[in-house]
Copies of this chain bind each other. A is one copy, B any other.
């Protein structure tokens, strides 16, 4: 018997998963959580083998929850469930110790294969995302999150505390353009905002 905890903020998704899993004889769903905190409590109180964890959840995101779990309950294996196949997410998840990664488009059998594999101590990455994963891993060496010249200029000014409007003025661009540079910079760096972007860029020596 594989004991499963489902963590997703959308009820329909939880129901859907439950429905898919309830028929299986070797699976037992022992709990559900709708956000990160609930999940952590649940894991602490109910013994489980695998957590099915949605990447995007309100409050503490799925990746944050994963991070916490890795330290507070390392024996629990985590399978991430996501809509995105963006390299950064996949990579992040794997780095943080996820044992599996599935897209929400996955069917029942794919799901089962993943759970069985993971419960047995293996890793399971869905075919559709192995590409992104490899790409992400590959990118650790060659052109690791490089930014375009313009993106760097913008980021440097942002690090100097300028706001978008001022950056636009200084570079003689429209604010819209500045925003779009920042957006793409965020994506490339795999970050969620200017503060983190600046942090990452500084640490990598992209700016100084």
Contact = CB atoms under 8 A, between A and B. Distances in A.
Contact of A59 (B165, B197, B199): B165
Contacts of A60: 166, 169-170
Main secondary structure of the interface of A (DSSP, over half): helix
A170 B192 CA distance: 17
B169 A59 contact: yes
B196 A166 contact: no
Interface string A152-182: 0000001111010110011000000000000
A13 B194 CA distance: 36
- Give the interface size bracket for A toward B: 20 to 34
Contacts of A194: 194-195
A179 to B, nearest CB: 14
B59 A193 contact: no
Given A159-B195, A160-B199, A202-B203, 14 more contacts: A37-B169, A59-B166, A60-B166, A60-B169, A160-B196, A161-B191, A161-B192, A161-B195, A161-B196, A194-B194, A198-B202, A199-B199, A199-B202, A202-B202
**9 nearest A-B pairs in the assembled complex, by CB-CB distance:** A161-B196, A159-B199, A194-B195, A161-B192, A195-B198, A202-B202, A198-B199, A195-B195, A158-B195
